[in-house]
Every structure is written in structure tokens, then in C-alpha cells.
Structure 1
């Protein structure tokens, strides 16, 4: 049994914390909104009233937060993780943040006597609930090995991809691929509906061929049902596409498709749909197609 602190009990963090409890670990959770802490306590975990209280006896600290500034705020300061976690504790940041920030924070963590790992995840809410996340880990191999049991409590595919910052770099690539797939699937569904095809049957056969993907499996029916309850919010994917485009620019890498999809994601958020699931990118495709059809009829 490992003593674990989970900071951030949102859509992803709460089910991850619950799975760590189910795996037999002693887990304390902290979240800015007390309701999430209470929900975790009801599930068998322990609750803390501050980051300081959550981490002071933890062997492992896992943060799952929305963005780089959120992580920086939680780990820094006299009440933060770095000032209060026991020396030698593992700090696993499962958030999706900028790779350069991950490197900077890893250096600061080591100065504070901690063992940092950037370990963003893929799989969405469904993967978090089922404990089947894909985890891309950056950091020292010995620390990755030491954290293996914790990772196995929340994920199925756990891969050490390089030194600090590498996990976030791979996650940026992941988000690029996912966004492009969602955009392509959205266009395909609107195209199929325009021709009156049995879309359920169409997605079934497409899923069995080269066009098949986890995006199609998990998001296709949501598009057909116009069900965009958030598993991963568009506004967060918008943030991630900003990470991708900035990192690509810094490395002088051309991502023409990625840049276009980033603009489409941004446009969908700008029209007020940032709270939808990222499959809600479909709504912009549908709106643009309807507008084009009206123009043709006019």
C-alpha cells in the first residue's frame, strides 16, 4: 500500500483517485471545491482542506489540473507541494501542460528533494473511470519504475518516453491527432447525413476498415445523437492545440493540418461551445454545412 495524495478531483482526477483506492492504496484528495472532496470521501478516500495537509505525509503526489498556471500555483509557494511534501516523494503531474513548463517544474521539484514525472494521460473520462488510460511518462527511469504500481492503478498502457518534458511533448502530439480525427469524423458524419445514408450502419462498416479508430468508436455515436456532454471539454482541447502550435513553431515544424484544426477548435470555443465535449467540434461543421446549403438554395 502506498500513501498517495491526489490534487485535482475533476472529470479525470476523481475517477483516477477512486481507482487508486480500489487498488488498495491510502489516498487523500484535495480540490478547490469541497463538493468533489466530499464525493471522494464517500467513495472510500480521505479528504484534505489544503494542499499542505494533503501532501505532508504522502509518498506519491499526483496532480491533475487544467493548465500550466494551475500546476504552477499548486506546487509553488509556502503552502504548495514543493514546500510541504516529504523529501524523496514522487511527484506525478498527470495534467496536460506546456513541455517547457514541465521541464522547469521538474528542475524545481528536484531542488526541493522530490522525484518528478510528467505523466499526461489519454483515454478521456471513460478511460479514467475504467482504469484503462494510456500514460506517457517523462522523467528518470528509476522514478518511473518506482511509480509503476501507481500507474497500473489508473492505466493499462504505460510507456516511458524520455526525460522530463517528454511526456508532455507526446501528449501534445496525441492531442493533435485526436483533434484532426474528430474534425474528419465530423465532416464524414455530416456528409453521410446529407445523402440520407443509414449512418449507424455506415459507422459500423467504417469502424471495421482502415478508417476505424478509437475516436470513431467513442465519438461517432455521440455525433449521431448530438450528445455532447463533456468527457473532455473543447475549451481544454483548445488550450492543448495552443500548446501544439506553439511547440511546433518553436521547433520550426510545419503542421498545416494541425494549424487549421486549431483554428476550427478555437472558432467553436469562441461561439460559446467550449463547455461541450470535444466531439462538439461537430457543431461547427454542421453549422457551416447548413449555411452553405442555404446559400445554394438562395
Structure 2
């Protein structure tokens, strides 16, 4: 795909703003739309064109990327008034990089195809750091030839781009990713609690365990932030809960019990109940502090 191809971005949240900027840096003309005008003004400063609505972004672009909060948000920006499918034209490719229901994705792909639009589902993993650095993992469902056509755009955002299968397969693999993230998160906070209760230095425990079979992304990246008292979100509890809800709904449809995932979902609900929904997912440590009657996160001065 030539860099002259025009790319639209619908959604400029923590992830979308960095992803759009990286696509622009690669030389693609970028048009953006976001519900919050201030985020669009920020995009104008680095050269993006502004659309009045998703329909206009689709009309002006060859590829439209959506990265919004939930299944209902994707439906709204795609199928609602002035939605991107109203701006459908010959050759338009829609890449949904949100994390939503695999079943809904398959339905949206069918609707898009009826309007002559090729759709890929391409959710991402790597958090805000991966979005800023352009190192996201991107799991893609849909037509492989369509993926080949837009791969240069995706390469501006990610380093590990994998075709997972037909429509919805990208979302299914993302669900697998979120299962492992949640269970690893629980293991990390339990290990921190065990070390603290036992009187072991937390930094030394992390230093050793990250290098062996117990190592995980959560342990290497989130545990040090817990020890520093930094619970700011790279990925918020609220969005993790949304993802785990999607996992559990799909598991129910498949008649598949997911005990670990269910436990993490319930524990994070406690974080939400204590007004921690906008904290990072590692705020799960707060529940462990309550359950174990111990202090891990240092108090802020």
C-alpha cells in the first residue's frame, strides 16, 4: 500500500491517539474523529485532518480504523447516524482495532460486506507503551488478501502482526490474551502479598522471579509500579472488566467454565466498588491488601 493511501481514525483515547500519530509519522495522510473535540485539536497539531463525523472520515479515506470502548460503541460509530458505513465507497477497508465480542464482530463483518466494505478485526495488545512506541501485537481476523493490502498501515503501529483466521478470529485470540493477562495479574499480586507477609524484600523477589519460569509481563512491568506506589493506568480496571465480561459471555455461549478468569473478574469488581475503576489493572493489589490485612502500596506523601 502506497503512503498516499488515506487513513481515517475513529477514536483517540489512550491507545488511539498514539496509534494515529504513528501512522501519520510513517507518511500516511490521517483524518481523525473523536467524541471529545479537545483530542481532535491535539491531533490537528501534528498534522491530522479533522472529520465532522465517522461518515466523513470514511468518505475521505481509503482505510478507516476504529478503536473505541465497547461493542455498543463500535456499533454506534459504524451503524449509527453519520456512521462510517454511511460513507462507504468502492474499495473502502474498515479495520476495527477495538476489543469487542467475537460474535458481534462476525455480524458487523457481514453487514459491512453487504455495503461493499471489507472489514478486518485487529485488536491489539501492548498497552499505552506499545501504542506510543509502535510495538503492539496485532491479532487479525478476516480476509488474508485484505490484510496484505493494509499491512504497511498496521506495521506503523505494531511489530507482531498475525493473521488468526476468518472474521472474529482476531477478537477470539484477544480474548485468550485477556484471560492470560488476568490470571497472571492475580499471580503477581498474590506473590507480592506472600513476600510482604514473609518479610522478604519485594524488589529482590521481583528481580529473581522475572528471570525464571515464573516470569510474566505483569510481573516485570506492573509489580515494580506497585512497589513504587504508582497505580496510574496503562490499561484501566474499567476496560479490563469490559474485556473479561466479553470473555465470560463468550465462554458461557461455548459452555466452557473459566474459573480463574471468573475469580479475577470478581476481585476487580471489588476494586471498582472502592472507586478504583480508572486505576491501572495492578490496583488489584488493593484487594489483596484488604484480604490479607497488610500494606504493600506505599502511601503518597
CA contact (8 A) 1:55 1:81 kept: yes
Cα deviation for residue 226 of structure 1 reads 2.0
Match 2:73 to one of 70, 75, 79: 70
SS of residue matched to 1:24: coil
- Is 1:92 aligned to 2:95, yes or no? yes
Cα deviation for residue 78 of structure 1 reads 4.2
Distance 1:217 1:44 in 2: 36
State the partner residue of 2:125: 122
Alignment size in residue pairs:
292
- Is 1:172 aligned to 2:170, yes or no? no
CA contact (8 A) 2:96 2:121 kept: yes
State the partner residue of 2:200: 197
Cα deviation for residue 45 of structure 1 reads 1.9
Match 1:188 to one of 181, 185, 191: 191
**Cα RMSD (Å):** 1.3
Write the mapping of 1:1-298 to structure 2, written as runs, cut at 5 A: 1=3, 2-290=5-293
Q: Can you list the C-alpha shifts for 1:99-128, whole angstroms capped at 9, x where unaligned?
A: 111000000011111110000000000000
Distance 2:71 2:185 in 1: 24
TM value normalised by structure 1: 0.95
SS of residue matched to 2:161: strand
Distance 1:198 1:46 in 2: 51
Residue segments in structure 1 that go unaligned for 5+ positions in a row: 293-298
Cα deviation for residue 227 of structure 1 reads 0.8
Q: Can you list the C-alpha shifts for 1:264-285, whole angstroms capped at 9, x where unaligned?
A: 1222222221110111111111
Distance 1:244 1:189 in 2: 26
Distance 1:53 1:115 in 2: 18
SS of residue matched to 2:35: coil
Distance 1:207 1:269 in 2: 28
Cα deviation for residue 250 of structure 1 reads 0.8
Cα deviation for residue 77 of structure 1 reads 3.1
SS of residue matched to 1:62: strand
Distance 1:151 1:8 in 2: 16
State the partner residue of 2:299: none
CA contact (8 A) 1:58 1:86 kept: no
Distance 2:55 2:155 in 1: 26
TM value normalised by structure 2: 0.94
Cα deviation for residue 33 of structure 1 reads 0.5
